Each structure stands twice: as C-alpha cells, then as structure tokens.
Structure 1
Amino acid sequence: MSFRRYEIILPTRYNDGQPVEAEKFLLTNRELSSQFGAASFLPEALQGTWIHKGQWFEEANVRLFVDVLDTPENAAFFAGYKQTLRARQ
C-alpha cells in the first residue's frame, strides 16, 4: 500500500485585501477530516510570491494536508474538491 500527501495552500486574503473568514478554513478542515478520517491544518502564514504580467505580488497563505491511500478515487476527489474550494470564495 502506498500513500500520497495532498497539500492545499489557501490564501488568507481575498483579492480586494479583505481577510478570508476563519470559518472557511475550519469548514475545509472538517470536510477533509470527514472524508478521510483526519486532516492537518497549519495556521502559520506561508509567504508566497508570484508574478502576473510583469507585476510582482506577495501573499500570506495557510496550509492543510492529508495523507491518504494513493488511489484513483482519492485523486478524483481532490480534482473535484479544487472546484469546491474555488466556488467557496
């Protein structure tokens, strides 16, 4: 049996600079824990830097992760869950 770690990096602020509600991080952690029996949330800010059309951006993010069996079903879950998180904004 092999395992795979899925890490989800979430921004702490919306594009307009307003903070993301703490309840959204809690909801995500609970959804993953319900799906897989456990999840880890690291609230320490991760500093991210990215470039778009020549402009530099910096942001603070948090990280959630789960270690799960490396199965096609789990891979499909995370592919779909990405859309769930995008819609949550």
Structure 2
Amino acid sequence: MIIRELITHRWGNKELVTSPSFGTVEKVFVKDDMRVLEWEPLFIIRTENGSLEQIAVGVNGVINSVHVKEGDHVIPGMVMAFIKDDLLDSDIS
C-alpha cells in the first residue's frame, strides 16, 4: 500500500481534501463532525492500475463534510472531504 500525504487547499474557511489519482474509493475512515489528527488515514483508493493508496493530510480539525462513499469513482482533483482546520479557530493575533 502506498501512503499519500497530501497538501490541502483552502476554500473559504475550510481545507479541501482532493483525490490524487484516478480510481475507486475502497474505504472511508471518516464521517461528518468527526475530529481528525494530522496524517491520520482518511480514505483508501484503489487506483486504475490496482494499487492501494492510503490518503492522509497534514491538518488537525473536524470533518465538515464527506463527499465520497465506498465504491465511488474518483479523479485527480475531485473533492473527497472538507475539514475545518483547528488553526482557523485560533484566537492568536
């Protein structure tokens, strides 16, 4: 299994988790309103060539919404989830 540690992109006040490859979602480890830690596995994708990719991101926060389910086909750049990053809630000036 390949571990893919992705960099998220900010959209408004949330971080986007996007698919890095073409494939099928094999496993979804997260659900809405679930707290996640940096580099925790979020999804497993079976790529077109049959390899498995474990998807993780460098963000601590709460899953705002999950946009894929097991069995869904994904393409590069497709939004899989939104995370409300803990750093966005910081009161540090």
Structure richer in helix, relative to its length: 1
TM-score by length of 2: 0.32
TM-score by length of 1: 0.33
Structure richer in strand, relative to its length: 2
